Structure formats: structure tokens, C-alpha cells
């Protein structure tokens, strides 16, 4: 099987390439002719004033937004993301925060959840055999991309930021500000271990 990554002239693996991306909201052009390339192993910083479009560009590169013009080539599905404003549900646990899936794994889990909902509702006319077959295939894919190992990895990342194993089941609302920051950092570390590309929006 060949290398799934394209390479530049120096032999480095190119994970992402954007050429002349533009994005406008009404008459305001937020992103104009953005061109960049991300190779494996490099770190790239986006510097600009508030409102300059840094978050918009990150969302374009992740595929969360569509560009008005330009071309985006992404050679990996292993993309992690820590948003500038992380939406935290205080009733959830540290496990939910640190171990919540992302990228390809998140898409698998979300699709499995939708299938489970369809099965529970029992709507007439549903092709149950097709749903069961799809669910089985998703379970295999979940295992193949390390879904079952995510919990143990999450615990390991908590240890790296100085939080004991007992924090894993604690609710976020019981944490101090410092402990919550450490839990968020543990999530970043977990993504950094597994992702080919990790976007940090104003870390």
C-alpha cells in the first residue's frame, strides 16, 4: 500500500495545503487569498489583531466552513481542535471532556448514536437489516481507530498534568478554575498524541 500523503520537493509529508482561500460575510471580506501548507512535524502560528479572521481561517482549514473561492487539500482525517471558547457543560464529567471523541472518531460515534436513536424509535418502513449492517461496520471501524483505548489514554493525560485518576469521574462543576484548566490541557495532550494536525485557537 502506498503512502497516503503527498510530499513536497524536500520529501516532507504534506498534510494540508490551502491555495487562495477567500471568505466573505456579506460585503466584508474576512479572508483574502490565504495560501499555506502544513507539513508533518512543523508548527505554524497565526498572528493578528482581534477580528482579523484567525478563527475563520482555522474553521476553513478544518472544513467547518466552506470557502467562497480557492482550493483546500487535506490528506488526513486525524485532526484535533481546541476552540477559543470551549463550550463546557458543567454537569458532565472530566471523562466526558478529556475523552470525548474528535475528528474521524467523533463522526463514527455520532453516526452510531443516530442509528441507535432510529432503532429505539422503531419507525415503520425502516430498513433494519441495512441499519444493523451499517452499525456493525461502524463498530469495527471504531475499534480500528482506537476507540476502545481512548479511556486509558485520557487517564494517562490527566496524570501528565498533575491530576490523579480519581478526577476522571468527577463532574466539571466540582473543579476549581485551576483544575478545569488542567483538564482542558489534558484533552489537548490527548489530541496531540493522536492527531496529525492539531489546531489551537488562542491557547
Tens digit of each residue's pLDDT (9 = 90 or more) over 29-70: 999 999 999 998 888 888 888 888 999 999 999 888 899 999
- Both 195 and 120 in one domain: the answer is yes
- Both 68 and 113 in one domain: the answer is no
Within a domain: 87 = no
Q: What is this structure's pTM?
A: 0.58
How far is it, in rounded angstroms, from Cα 190 to Cα 134?
28
Last residue of a domain, one of 48, 76, 104: 76
How far is it, in rounded angstroms, from Cα 14 to Cα 82?
22
Domain that holds residue 142: 94-200
Last residue of a domain, one of 24, 48, 76: 76
- Both 141 and 186 in one domain: the answer is yes
Beta bridge mates, 65: none
- Both 98 and 161 in one domain: the answer is yes
List, in sequence order, the alpha helices (H) in the chain.
54-62, 94-99, 103-121, 128-144, 150-160, 177-194
List, in sequence order, the alpha helices (H) in 7-126.
54-62, 94-99, 103-121
CA–CA–CA angle 8, 14, 16 (5° rounding) = 135
The length of the chain, given as a count of residues: 203
Within a domain: 88 = no
Q: What cell was used for 96?
A: 466526558
Which pLDDT tens digit goes with each residue over 103-160? 677 788 889 998 998 888 887 888 888 989 999 999 999 888 777 777 678 888 888 8
- Both 102 and 141 in one domain: the answer is yes
Task: Provide the pLDDT confidence category of residue 9 given band limits of 50, 70 and 90.
Answer: very low
User: What is the number of structural domains in the chain?
Assistant: 2
Task: Provide the pLDDT confidence category of residue 85 given band limits of 50, 70 and 90.
Answer: low
- What lies within 8 Å, CB to CB, of 27 at 6+ separation is none
Within a domain: 83 = no
Q: Based on C-alpha coordinates, what's the Rg of the chain?
A: 20
Within a domain: 85 = no
- Both 103 and 182 in one domain: the answer is yes
- Both 195 and 101 in one domain: the answer is yes
Last residue of a domain, one of 18, 49, 76: 76
Q: What cell was used for 202?
A: 488562542
- Both 149 and 112 in one domain: the answer is yes
- Both 115 and 192 in one domain: the answer is yes
Q: What cell was used for 174?
A: 466540582
Determine what percent of the chain is predicted with pLDDT higher than 90.
27
- Which whole-number Å values give the CA distances from 28 to 24, 31, 91, 201, in the listed order? 5, 9, 39, 22
Task: Tell me what percent of the chain is helix, strand and coil, each rounded to the nearest 5.
Answer: 45, 20, 35
Amino acid at each position: 500500500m502506498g503512502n497516503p500523503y503527498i510530499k513536497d520537493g524536500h520529501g516532507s509529508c504534506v498534510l494540508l495545503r490551502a491555495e487562495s482561500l477567500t471568505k466573505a460575510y456579506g460585503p466584508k471580506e474576512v479572508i483574502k487569498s490565504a495560501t499555506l501548507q502544513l507539513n508533518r512535524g512543523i508548527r505554524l502560528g497565526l498572528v493578528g489583531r482581534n477580528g482579523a479572521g484567525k478563527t475563520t481561517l482555522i474553521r476553513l482549514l478544518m472544513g467547518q466552513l466552506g470557502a467562497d473561492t480557492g482550493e483546500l487539500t487535506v490528506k488526513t482525517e486525524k485532526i484535533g481542535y481546541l476552540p477559543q471558547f470551549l463550550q463546557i457543560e458543567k454537569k458532565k464529567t472530566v471523562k466526558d471532556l478529556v475523552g470525548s471523541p474528535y475528528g474521524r472518531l467523533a463522526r463514527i460515534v455520532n453516526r452510531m448514536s443516530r442509528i441507535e436513536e432510529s432503532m429505539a424509535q422503531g419507525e415503520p418502513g425502516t430498513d433494519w437489516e441495512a441499519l444493523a449492517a451499517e452499525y456493525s461496520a461502524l463498530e469495527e471501524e471504531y475499534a480500528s481507530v482506537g476507540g476502545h483505548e481512548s479511556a486509558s489514554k485520557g487517564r494517562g493525560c490527566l496524570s501528565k498534568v498533575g491530576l490523579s485518576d480519581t478526577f476522571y469521574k468527577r463532574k466539571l462543576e466540582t473543579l476549581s478554575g485551576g483544575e478545569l484548566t488542567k483538564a482542558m490541557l489534558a484533552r489537548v495532550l490527548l489530541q496531540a498524541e493522536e492527531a496529525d494536525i492539531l489546531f489551537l485557537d488562542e491557547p
